[in-house]
Structure 1
Amino acid sequence: MNPHALQRGSGIVLLAYISLHLVNHALGVWSLDLAERGLTLAMLVWHSVPGTVLLYGSVGVHLTLALRTLYNRRHWALPLSEWIRLWAGLSLPLLLIRHAVGTRLAASLYGFEPNYERVIVSLLLSGTQGLQIALLAPGWVHGCLGLWLGLRNYAPVYRAKTVLVAVFVILPLLSAAGFFQMKRALIAAGLTALAPDATLVRHRAALDGWRHDLLIAYLLLIFTAFAAGQLRNGFYKRVSRKTAGDA
């Protein structure tokens, strides 16, 4: 299959996943209960076997193609939009690993049942609520830019530019507002009720080990792809100079 089609298809799946997360957070503007119901529906989709295969298959495909792009790139004279998209795409896993280990991996390995109340309390007690708000931003920016660069030449998409920019800006703002509203609701319920989840406390060391190992593995993949590409570029340049000199 065409790598561009694979990249676009996997990117659309990941953007849909991020969009649903933003919408779920935004529901917290109205009530914590409404956000919890939205999260339950989202988990039915993404925690099902087809949803899991589709989501993590898309993560694997998108990451593989990103490493391939790093390796194949011959120069780094890129327009600003490409630099922003590159930064957003490569920084997303650095933030996502922490969240994914504390929710999905903890649920799969140790029976943790994630919901907004447990996750927000955990973030408040660890002082990482700001990280949660920033978590989806790189993926949202990367996905929206990628989708725009791929579809901007289609007349209907270009005509809808103003609406798309409005969605691009407003949805993350609503998401952040929803998160803060849910946090205020929990704090108003009584700080004495804010206690860490027993499952997360019991398996904290193991989860921290997973975070560390996954982070190191990801950084090694990025460094290896970049370094290998630079070595290949240097080799081709030497061969070209030698060929030109012999001629």
Structure 2
Amino acid sequence: MQVVLRRLQLVSGVTLLIYLFLHLINHALGIWSLDLAGRGLMLALWLWRSWLGTILLYGAAALHFSLALHTIYGRRHWTLSATEWVRLWAGLSLPLLLIRHAVATRLAGSLYGFEPNYERIVVLLITSGTQGLQLALLAPGWLHGCLGLWLRLRHYPRVHRAKPALLAVLVGMPLLSAAGFLRMKQAVVSMHVSLPAVDPKLAGHLATLEVWRHNLVALYISLILGTLAAGLLRNWLEARTPRDPAEKEASASASEN
């Protein structure tokens, strides 16, 4: 069962990493032109809004999050290396990006007919003051995925030899994405004497969408904290419960293996 869970974690994680990679590429295209980035966005929307893309993306997100809760609950100790702490922090940040993104694009499109393009997205982010947050949230998810893949594949000689190139991709992609987004922001601002109003299809529903986002974030944080508390309580109860010598020996043997 543990082998199956690890494979499910890997497959779902790679799916989310591909999503993030394409998202970063879309932003990076903005270095050349807003129009080129827009074409990339249309391709991404076609991919992820298809029935197959929807199942893959949201199924992978739900599965990966469920497995993360399973891991948090099952931990017997929290003595982790610095790399593991960074990976944990980065991974827990990823759903915050997905929630914001899903509410601002997918939910807004499904409920209110909002069709995103980069000009509308940039205007919305600037007027809401969240453009910096959008950039900040992309990097941790990318870092988490890359570290997870590295920890799985680092024992292969070819992967280990490619470490400098992989490190360049790890650092370079978020930087190119940020540069592209800032270039698009500059292009949108220069196109108008003053920024246009938020898309009218969306303007009247921003408060409702914000409530959706707030409730989903609160649910996410509650699940994380609740699972952590349940795991710590389980560990505390097990520590207070006398154990049979044979059970202790079997547990010690399993730990060594």
**TM-score normalised by the chain length of structure 2:** 0.91
Q: Which amino acid aligns with 1:44?
A: W
Alignment check: 8 A CA contact 1:96 1:135 kept: no
Match of 1:228 among 227, 230, 233: 230
Q: Could you give the per-residue CA deviations for residues 43-95 of structure 1, whole angstroms, max 9, x where no partner exists?
A: 11110000000110000100000000110000011000000000011122234
How far, CA to CA, are the matches of 1:35 and 1:177 in structure 2? 12
Structure 1 position 243, deviation (Å): 5.5
How far, CA to CA, are the matches of 2:26 and 2:154 in structure 1? 28
Alignment check: 8 A CA contact 2:103 2:212 kept: yes
Q: Secondary structure in 1 aligned to 2:31?
A: coil
Structure 2 residue aligned with 1:106: 108
How far, CA to CA, are the matches of 2:195 and 2:175 in structure 1? 28
Structure 1 position 191, deviation (Å): 3.6
| Matched pairs, number | 243
Structure 1 residue aligned with 2:128: 126
How far, CA to CA, are the matches of 2:94 and 2:52 in structure 1? 23
Match of 1:80 among 70, 79, 82: 82
Match of 1:20 among 19, 22, 25: 22
Match of 2:137 among 135, 138, 153: 135
Alignment check: 8 A CA contact 2:123 2:195 kept: no
Structure 1 position 193, deviation (Å): 4.5
Q: Could you give the per-residue CA deviations for residues 183-236 of structure 1, whole angstroms, max 9, x where no partner exists?
A: 000111114242211122111121011111101111111011101101110111
Tell whether 2:101 aligns with 1:93. Answer: no
How far, CA to CA, are the matches of 2:11 and 2:118 in structure 1? 29
How far, CA to CA, are the matches of 1:172 and 1:193 in structure 2? 26
Structure 2 residue aligned with 1:161: 163
Q: Could you give the per-residue CA deviations for residues 14-38 of structure 1, whole angstroms, max 9, x where no partner exists?
A: 0000000000000000000000001
Alignment check: 8 A CA contact 2:96 2:137 kept: no
Alignment check: 8 A CA contact 2:47 2:53 kept: yes
Unaligned runs of 5+ in 2: 246-257
Unaligned runs of 5+ in 1: none
Q: Secondary structure in 1 aligned to 2:194?
A: helix
Aligned-residue CA RMSD (Å): 1.3
Q: Could you give the per-residue CA deviations for residues 154-185 of structure 1, whole angstroms, max 9, x where no partner exists?
A: 11111111110011111111110000100000
Q: Which amino acid aligns with 1:117?
A: E
**Fraction of identical pairs, as percent:** 60
Structure 2 residue aligned with 1:53: 55
**TM-score normalised by the chain length of structure 1:** 0.95
- Which has the larger displacement, 231-240 or 22-31? 231-240
Structure 2 residue aligned with 1:30: 32
